[in-house]
């Protein structure tokens, strides 16, 4: 089976750094203020799509500038804070799924440069069989990145699952008929996730292993 994971808010506890980077980008561009909550609600989208959602009346060039400023600020924060802070049991669960013979992938709103930097820094480059980023394909909730991951890994739709913490993740899966699993420790509420009919909403990563065993035997 192919397990496709969102990164920020699902695997990585990165809300604080992302919001801080968004606010730094907004300040450096001298754009009107947005609240931390407004910024956090955008996590999961691509950077240009985030800027467009926060500032609908601006130009494509403005959205590119936001992405550039954000990326520069985030890279500096990464250097400052060091290794990624993963949610409890996240890495252990990935290793166990891998040992059980499953394929692992990432579908993220990050840029390719940003994701690759993290995979190398955190020693996870060999953990994942494939990945897609929002700057190299359509941003969530467009299902294109899921379609591409299925194609790259030669996985039938029925043998894949999307795991994420936002409505963008679960809507993306729903729009192409892929089963999904939500997590309750990320950016969006259980009520928000439930609207997209996930087969489960986890309250701990270890529960994914139990789901896998039950799904395999069903």
Q: How far apart are CA 148 and CA 105, in angstroms?
A: 11
The whole-angstrom separation of Cα 217 and Cα 195 is 27
Structure tokens at 42: 């955008």
- Per the structure, the complete domain to which residue 36 belongs is given by 15-81
Q: What is the pLDDT of residue 215?
A: 87
How high is the mean pLDDT in each 10-residue block of the chain (218 residues)? 96 91 95 95 90 95 95 81 87 97 96 90 94 94 97 98 96 97 94 96 95 86
Instruction: Give residue 102's pLDDT.
Output: 97
Shared domain check, 122 and 33: no
Give the pLDDT confidence score for residue 175 in this predicted structure. Answer: 97
pLDDT at 76: 84
Co-location of 109 and 77 in the same domain: no
Please give the pLDDT value at position 37: 92
- The pLDDT value recorded for residue 160 is 98
| Whole-number pLDDT of residue 168 | 94
On whether both 36 and 139 belong to a single domain, the answer is no
Task: Tell me how crowded residue 158 is: count the other CB atoms within 10 A of its CB.
Answer: 10
Domain shared by 98 and 34, yes or no: no
Which tokens hold the place of 95? 């290793």
Please check whether residues 73 and 116 belong to one and the same domain.
Answer: no
Six-digit token string for 139: 């941003």
């Amino acid at each position: 089976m192919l397990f496709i994971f969102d990164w920020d808010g699902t695997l990585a506890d990165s809300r604080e750094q992302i919001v801080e980077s968004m606010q730094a980008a907004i300040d450096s561009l001298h754009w009107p203020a947005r609240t931390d909550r407004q910024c956090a609600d955008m996590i999961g989208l691509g950077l240009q799509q985030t800027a467009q959602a926060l500032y609908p009346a601006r130009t494509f060039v403005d959205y590119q500038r936001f992405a550039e400023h954000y990326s520069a600020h985030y890279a500096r924060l990464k250097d400052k804070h060091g290794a990624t802070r993963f949610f409890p049991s996240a890495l252990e669960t990935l290793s166990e799924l891998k040992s059980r013979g499953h394929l692992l992938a990432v579908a993220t709103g990050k840029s390719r440069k940003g994701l690759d930097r993290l995979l190398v820094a955190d020693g996870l480059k060999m953990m994942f069989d494939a990945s897609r980023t929002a700057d190299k394909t359509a941003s969530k909730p467009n299902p294109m990145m899921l379609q591409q991951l299925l194609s790259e890994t030669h996985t039938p739709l029925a043998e894949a699952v999307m795991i994420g913490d936002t409505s963008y993740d679960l809507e993306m899966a729903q729009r192409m008929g892929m089963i999904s699993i939500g997590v309750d420790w990320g950016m969006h509420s259980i009520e928000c996730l439930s609207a997209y009919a996930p087969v489960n909403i986890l309250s701990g990563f270890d529960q994914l292993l139990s789901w896998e065993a039950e799904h395999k035997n069903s």
